[in-house]
């Protein structure tokens, strides 16, 4: 039997573990939830499903050769890569019945992400682009041509986590590493569907995108105020149906 591949645990994986820990804290009744942002190092976020593919070991070697650190993430359907030109968003919320309203949460929050990008001048739309990486109905794209944001949810007893990755700039390394890795995993993707906000808004920064999207999220989420210690925005009860 071939041994499972081993690989280092990058900072972004530590952050993912911290996000899940905070989700569990919210589920236990410690606050109603929060909005939090992260800026990752170059990382390749595999899923449990990816790890069961025959070419997983080769895929791990490929991402490391490209300068990306692999890890297994708890949210999402297929491999997604991101780097210092990306933003990671986590929204964790306490919920008595997290399985109820999953689609409505996707609808509301993905629409808010798209609205935030539109305020910057992007023709942002919600929906899957044919050939995109980690395909999903609630991705955010530009003009039905390139994927800019991937979304996912994780459910635990008493809470849910909505997470999104926004590619702000420099999409070429992401397209390169993912097209190579998807080939190892026996999957197809079109590298031309990997886009970035900066391709449509020259000079835009991570701060610009975080502010625009954050304002759009605050318009649909019950923000109670800032967490002066943790650097997050705290939420009141929210459970759309």
pLDDT tens for the 241 residues of the chain, in order: 445 555 544 445 556 677 778 888 999 998 999 999 999 999 999 998 999 999 999 999 999 999 999 998 877 689 999 999 999 999 999 999 999 999 999 999 999 999 999 999 999 999 999 999 999 999 999 999 999 999 999 999 999 999 999 999 999 999 999 999 999 999 999 999 999 999 999 999 999 999 999 999 999 999 999 988 778 999 999 988 7
pLDDT, position 207: 96
* Cβ(240)–Cβ(39) below 8 Å: no
Helix (H, G, I), strand (E, B) or coil at 73: coil
Which domains does the chain possess? Answer: 11-235 (3.30.930.10)
Cα 158 from Cα 99, distance rounded (Å): 10
pTM over the 0.85 mark: yes
Residue 160 has which token pair?
Answer: 């849910």
Q: Number of C-alpha atoms within 13 angstroms, CB side, residue 40?
A: 28
* Cβ(5)–Cβ(60) below 8 Å: yes
Cα 69 from Cα 210, distance rounded (Å): 24
E strand or H helix at 69: strand 69-72
Only one residue has tokens 């939420």, namely 235
Q: Which residues pair with 175 in a beta bridge?
A: none
User: Rounded to the nearest 10 degrees, how much is the dihedral formed by the CA atoms of 113, 32, 155, 118?
Assistant: 0
Q: What angle do CA 181, 183, 189 make, to 5 degrees?
A: 90
pLDDT, position 155: 93
Cα 42 from Cα 90, distance rounded (Å): 18
């Amino acid at each position: 039997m071939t041994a499972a591949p081993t690989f280092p645990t990058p900072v972004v994986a530590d952050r993912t573990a911290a996000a899940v820990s905070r989700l569990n804290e919210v589920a236990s009744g410690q606050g109603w939830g929060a909005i939090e942002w992260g800026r990752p190092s170059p990382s390749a976020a595999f899923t449990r499903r990816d790890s069961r593919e025959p070419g997983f070991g080769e895929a791990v070697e490929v991402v490391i050769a490209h300068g990306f650190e692999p890890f297994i993430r708890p949210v999402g359907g297929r491999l997604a890569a991101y780097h210092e030109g990306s933003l990671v968003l986590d929204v964790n919320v306490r919920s008595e019945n997290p399985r109820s309203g999953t689609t409505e949460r996707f609808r509301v929050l993905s629409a808010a992400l798209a609205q935030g990008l539109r305020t910057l001048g992007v023709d942002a739309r919600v929906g899957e682009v044919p050939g995109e990486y980690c395909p999903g109905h609630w991705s955010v794209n530009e003009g039905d041509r390139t994927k800019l944001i991937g979304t996912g949810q994780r459910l635990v007893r008493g809470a849910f986590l909505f997470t999104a990755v926004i590619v702000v700039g420099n999409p070429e390394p992401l397209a390169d590493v993912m097209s190579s890795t998807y080939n190892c995993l026996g999957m197809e993707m079109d590298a031309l569907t990997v886009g970035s906000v900066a391709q449509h808004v020259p000079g835009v920064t991570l701060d610009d995108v975080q502010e625009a999207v954050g304002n759009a999220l605050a318009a649909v989420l019950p923000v109670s105020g800032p967490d002066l210690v943790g650097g997050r925005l705290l939420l009141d009860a929210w459970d759309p149906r």
